[in-house]
Amino acid sequence: MSDVERLRSALSAVLDELGIAGVDIQLERPRNPEHGDWSTNVAMVSAGRLRKPPREVAAEILDRLDLGGAGVREAEVAGPGFINFRLTSAQLQALLKRILEEDEAYGRREPESPERVVVEFVSANPTGPLHVAHGRGAALGDGIARLLEWTGQVVHREFYVNDAGVQIDRLAASVDARWRQLQGENAPIPESGYHGDYVGGLAREADEELADRLVDASDPDRLDLFREWAVERLKADQDRDLRDFGVAFDEWYPESRVYEEGLIQETLADLTGRDLVYEADGATWLRTTTFGDDKDRVLVKQDGTYTYLVPDIAYHREKARRGYDLAINVWGADHHGYVPRMQAALAALGLEDFLVVEIVQMVRILRGGQEAKLSKRAGDFITLRELFEETGTDVARYFFLMRRGDTQMLFDLDLALDHSEKNPVFKVQYAHARMMSIFRKGGVEPAQRWSGELPLDRLETDDEQDLVKQLARFPEVVRRAAAGRAPHLVCDYLEETAGMANGWYHSGNPSRNPELAVLADDPDLREARLALARGVRIVLRNGLRVLGLTAPDRMEREEQG
């Protein structure tokens, strides 16, 4: 049982005695250390029900509380009626022991009934290289997936491949135009086509790989060849870019499968059966307004073709049929207006609350204080690969994750390329490497699991006790980040933890304060501090893993010149 849980159950018992069971017990860690390790507002919340002033209620609660049993050293009524608690040092030692015992599992949880969650992200059209905005979606989607895994959910990472739409026709036409140019024809790329330099490269490669099949092909056959070849080729490129970025999908679900497996007809029949479809103006409409959309939506256009909504509904209906409890989609900001109609359509199928959409806002890249936009390769955007090859994958991922996904972000390339501790990624990784360095220096095997008794009562300084409390917060940070699908909370926590650990380490610089050094002469003190260093190491490593970053044993010095 953790420190909070002990305290919570003790408080709960008292509330029972007072006849106000069921009051929501909020325990929080006060910002101000003078307010103790834990603080609760239960007295203020229940003052109304007891018809007594909050401070009086607080005093009464304290009177009945079994402090020792709750792992509390002292408690006090403060301010308008807060009750502040300070933990016993035995309780602090127990917290650290738990970290050392759980080691690689510290911060993980295993719920009784795990949910099956499909996280769909990136889902870029296979019409060109991935750019930085896709990178943010990739980092965030994978970060959310990892958080859910750490909280015990069963996660499936899925990429929806739009291989059947108009965009693909345009891609094929663009490659075809480039190919005909190679044959000496005057064949301009269609206005609505793809004009990036990479299309020329595709045409040349297709010419080599498909050579003989192209020569005799009719115009429509050649377009089909290009369509099929280019989609496979670009999909493979995207997959390679993502893997090199540390993101691996469990499944690439092609839109064409929705058609091939007859899901369109099934879905339309399902909706029609629910009396939610009607004909008007020569088109077929879905009554999404019944489910909160601001207007009804067309399913089948006047010309008899489907709107993009149809395959999308069919696809998400299929996700539910595949047995997932929850679908999380990470979408670009340009699709946010699409969320209400999609959710309305799913609600129409009895799938309300099945789909959660996380919106990823735009990324601007800042280099040398100026906004960078141009890329030689892609024409009008910076590719994801260009970015992470320049900064390294750890840095790029972290920078995307350290901001909330739903706000626009400025990606400061100068800071990303800075290898000092100004760069938050390196600050955290240095702190980890620093602990590993101490282990090497101290002749300790870091992988070895802790067992037996440790003289943890020797951790007496404020820095040390604060650090233990900080490490104890980690599981709660993971839980909150997962619940809010907000990896940036983990980044904030890691930076704070690294800062505290670095401060602790530096204060023990042997040239200044040898008595504070981790590797102290006193064997017990040394052992206790090494245990704390190991706790720091565990939390930083696990935190970096949650984010999908490496936790280096040592930092490589930059090459000269």
Partner RNA sequence: GCGCCCGUAGCUCAGCUGGAUAGAGCGUCGGACUUCUAAUCCGAGGGUCGCAGGUUCGAAUCCUGCCGGGCGCGCCA
Q: Segment 453-512, which members bind RNA (CB under 7 A)?
A: 480, 486, 488-489, 492, 495-496, 499, 502-503, 505-511
Q: Which two tokens stand for residue 160?
A: 């929806």
Q: How far is it, in rounded angstroms, from Cα 501 to Cα 194?
A: 51
298 belongs to the binding site for RNA (CB under 7 A): yes
Please state the closest distance from residue 285 (CB atom) to RNA, in A: 8
Pick the stretch among 262-270, 297-305, 317-325, 389-397 that binds RNA (CB under 7 A). Answer: 297-305
DSSP-assigned beta bridge partners for residue 40: 27, 83
Q: Which residue from 73, 86, 235, 336 is in contact with RNA, where contact means CB under 7 A?
A: 336
Q: How far is it, in rounded angstroms, from Cα 410 to Cα 221?
A: 45
Q: How far is it, in rounded angstroms, from Cα 32 to Cα 37?
A: 9
430 belongs to the binding site for RNA (CB under 7 A): yes
Q: How far is it, in rounded angstroms, from Cα 350 to Cα 384?
A: 38
208 belongs to the binding site for RNA (CB under 7 A): no
Shorter beta-carbon distance to RNA: residue 322 or 404: 404
Shorter beta-carbon distance to RNA: residue 214 or 518: 518
Please state the closest distance from residue 486 (CB atom) to RNA, in A: 6
Pick the stretch among 102-110, 112-120, 180-188, 427-435 that binds RNA (CB under 7 A). Answer: 427-435
Considering only residues 133 to 162 of the shown chain, the ones binding RNA according to CB under 7 A are 162
Please state the closest distance from residue 83 (CB atom) to RNA, in A: 8
Distance (Å) of CA 65 to CA 159, 439, 560:
53, 42, 63
Binding characters for RNA, 91-130, by CB under 7 A (x = yes):
----------------------------------x-----
User: In 183-218, which ranges are continuous DSSP H helix?
Assistant: 198-215
Containing 120, the helix (H) or strand (E) segment is: strand 116-120
DSSP string, 405-462: TTS-EEEEHHHHH--STTSHHHHHHHHHHHHHHHHHHHT--TTSPP-S---GGG--SH
- Using the structure block, give the residue that is written with the tokens 């000496």: 184
Q: Which residue from 110, 113, 208, 280 is in contact with RNA, where contact means CB under 7 A?
A: 280
| Contacts of range 224-227, beta carbons closer than 8 Å, 24 or more positions apart | 224/172, 226/171, 226/172, 226/175, 226/176, 226/179, 227/168, 227/169, 227/171, 227/172
Q: How far is it, in rounded angstroms, from Cα 140 to Cα 143?
A: 5
Please state the closest distance from residue 536 (CB atom) to RNA, in A: 12
166 belongs to the binding site for RNA (CB under 7 A): yes
Pick the stretch among 35-43, 133-141, 198-206, 315-323 that binds RNA (CB under 7 A). Answer: 35-43
Region of 116 (left: φ > 0; alpha: ψ -120 to 50; beta: rest) is beta
34 belongs to the binding site for RNA (CB under 7 A): yes
Q: Which of 403, 329, 423 is nearest to 363 (CA)?
A: 403
301 belongs to the binding site for RNA (CB under 7 A): yes
Shorter beta-carbon distance to RNA: residue 110 or 303: 303
Give the count of residues interacting with RNA (CB under 7 A).
92
Pick the stretch among 228-236, 295-303, 382-390, 537-545 that binds RNA (CB under 7 A). Answer: 295-303
CB 516 within 8 A of CB 436: no
Q: How far is it, in rounded angstroms, from Cα 340 to Cα 347?
A: 10
Considering only residues 378 to 417 of the shown chain, the ones binding RNA according to CB under 7 A are 402-404, 406-410, 412, 415
440 belongs to the binding site for RNA (CB under 7 A): yes
Phi first, then psi, for residue 280 (nearest 5°) are -160, 145
165 belongs to the binding site for RNA (CB under 7 A): yes
Please state the closest distance from residue 418 (CB atom) to RNA, in A: 8
64 belongs to the binding site for RNA (CB under 7 A): no
Please state the closest distance from residue 45 (CB atom) to RNA, in A: 6
Q: Which of 1, 6, 15 is nearest to 71 (CA)?
A: 6
61 three-class SS: helix
Distance (Å) of CA 35 to CA 63, 73, 507:
19, 13, 25
Q: How far is it, in rounded angstroms, from Cα 94 to Cα 4?
A: 12
Pick the stretch among 30-38, 99-107, 445-453, 541-549 that binds RNA (CB under 7 A). Answer: 30-38
Pick the stretch among 132-140, 224-232, 329-337, 534-542 that binds RNA (CB under 7 A). Answer: 329-337
Q: How far is it, in rounded angstroms, from Cα 52 to Cα 46?
A: 9
Q: Which residue from 516, 528, 540, 546 is in contact with RNA, where contact means CB under 7 A?
A: 516
Shorter beta-carbon distance to RNA: residue 102 or 412: 412
DSSP-assigned beta bridge partners for residue 500: none
Pick the stretch among 205-213, 321-329, 333-341, 452-460 that binds RNA (CB under 7 A). Answer: 333-341
Q: Which of 452, 458, 462, 436 is nearest to 536 (CA)?
A: 436
Please state the closest distance from residue 110 (CB atom) to RNA, in A: 21
Shorter beta-carbon distance to RNA: residue 324 or 493: 493
Shorter beta-carbon distance to RNA: residue 508 or 548: 508
82 belongs to the binding site for RNA (CB under 7 A): yes
